[in-house]
Amino acid sequence: MTILAPQSPAATAVHEEVLDNGLRVLIQEVHTAPLASVWCWYRVGSRDEGPGQTGVSHWVEHMNFKGTTNIPRDRVKGIIEQYGGYWNGYTWIDQTTYTETATRDALDHMLFIEAERMTNGLYDPADCESERTVIISELQGGENDPDQLLDQEMTATAIQAHPYRHPTIGWLSDLQTMTREDLYGYYRGFYVPNNATLVIVGDIDTAAALKSAAKQFGAIPSRDVRRHIHTREPEQLGERRVTIRREGTTAYLKIGYHAPAIGSPDFFPMLLLDAVLSGAKGMNLWASFRTPPPQRSARLYQALVNTGVASAVGGALMPTQDPFVYTISVTATEGVPLARVEEVTLGAIEEVRTRGLTAHELRKAKNQLRARLVFENDSITNIAHQLGYYETIDSWRIVRSMPERIEAVTLDEVAAVAEQRLRASNRTIGWFDPTS
């Protein structure tokens, strides 16, 4: 049985236009409720940070919630909430984004906020210093989470040359030494219209929304964006390992494999491989991980959880601009040695690598993934997120082609990706081995 993606609000036409200053505007009318969602995306993330500035993208994002020339810091939140809406933002390795979703009559106010954020950030020295404390506290909180700490250390071990190896929050020494001038210079260098994509989705008129966007953003001048030249990650020549021994009560295993970028022909076969190994997760970073994947028939769940070796297992293949890491995460059952957990995990992976999948497994994975694509475009906020996110790493048109790309993957393609990507010389193994 094949699940065909039904016609949904996400399937309506997208209008794309580039303003004279280089700002790309994507508008999609969805008239299911009197709401509008605005996202302003910047092609800047931790991959753009130079030596001594790791974490600056995330810190700049924090500062852009501290008010602007024409919006006092205590008014930003109120502008949206008076229309019954909400606002948020995030930074990751390839992008930084800001969003508001509210009633449609708040559209001009949402666009005004984002235009102000693009060009009139204050960066008050006192705010910069207070936010330094907040971010360092956030970093230290993450280091107290064994699973998060192991993920950070495993990634930094697997990736040795490309800036994807740095955690988005940054390294402590950089957070302690960066200045207000570092933050503001970074902001001025990347927060320009020709480095941004504005996405508007909802119960709006395309022509009117485009006119409003041009009114708010059209006068902001473009500027050259100076990016660092990235070292291409060399091929890994042998298995790497990292072990963390600290106080704790639970043991964790992580296995990272160098993974394809979104533009690689290997990406969608790898996505289906992960769905068979650990369950279908979907393709929306804003929503995918809020709903647990269907796992009961997944290979690793059967090998580890059903046998009592582990209490939880998961996989993560992220769509990224450059090759990143496919991560398998395992939480050991109390009393089971990590060596045993690793042995069983690698055995299940090797079984797939050498023997491939069954036709039934591939069909089931395709059905589950296509269903997730429908479920994860159930709101104008999610629809707008997908358009902007994929535009920052490749093109928003990938969103429209996902069902067809998933359906087109063959058993032979998955087998070839498994054989090549899951080999021992391409992996990094991380242990969190708790001490009493």
Task: Report yes or no on 424 lying in a domain.
Answer: yes
Residue 8 confidence class, pLDDT cut points 50, 70, 90: low
Using 50, 70 and 90 to split pLDDT, how confident is the model at 287?
A: confident
Q: What share of the chain is helix, strand, coil (3-state, %, to 5)?
A: 45, 20, 35
Give the DSSP H or E segment for 176.
Answer: helix 172-177
Examine the pLDDT at 76 and tell me if it is beyond 90: no
Q: What pLDDT was estimated at residue 4?
A: 34
The one-letter amino acid code at 64 reads: N
Average pLDDT, the chain: 95
Specify whether 202 is located in the same domain as 153: yes
Residues 267 and 213 in one domain: no
Q: Check whether residue 272 and residue 146 sit in a common domain.
A: no
| % of the chain beyond a pLDDT of 90 | 89
What pLDDT, in 10s, does the model give residues 251-261? 999 999 999 99
Structure tokens that stand for 362 in this block: 């591939």
Total number of domains in the chain: 2
What's the token pair of residue 102? 């509210």
Does 359 map to a domain? yes
Lowest mean pLDDT among 40-49, 58-67, 77-86, 151-160: 77-86
> What is the per-residue pLDDT across 362-376, written as a single tens digit (0 to 9) for each?
999 999 999 999 988
Q: How confident is the model at residue 36 (pLDDT cuts 50, 70, 90)?
A: very high
The residue range of the domain holding 316 is 240-432
Residues 279 and 335 in one domain: yes
Q: Specify whether 205 is located in the same domain as 266.
A: no
Q: 428 with 327, same domain?
A: yes
Q: Is residue 176 domain-shared with residue 61, that is, in the same domain?
A: yes
The answer on 299 and 172 residing in a single domain is no
Structural domain includes residue 224? no
Per residue in 126-174, pLDDT (tens digit) is 999 999 999 999 999 999 999 999 999 999 999 999 999 999 999 999 9
Identify the CATH number of the domain in which residue 186 sits.
Answer: 3.30.830.10
Shared-domain flag, residues 255 and 195: no
188, 255: one domain: no
Asked if residue 1 belongs to a domain, the reply is no
Among the listed residues 102, 100, 113, 93, the one whose alpha carbon sits nearest the alpha carbon of residue 285: 93
pLDDT tops 60 at residue 6: no
DSSP, residue by residue, 19-85: -TTS-EEEEEE--SSSEEEEEEEES-SGGG--TT-TTHHHHHHHHTTS-BSSS-TTTHHHHHHTTT-
pLDDT of 104 > 90? The answer is: yes
Span 377-399, pLDDT tens digits: 989 999 999 999 999 999 999 99
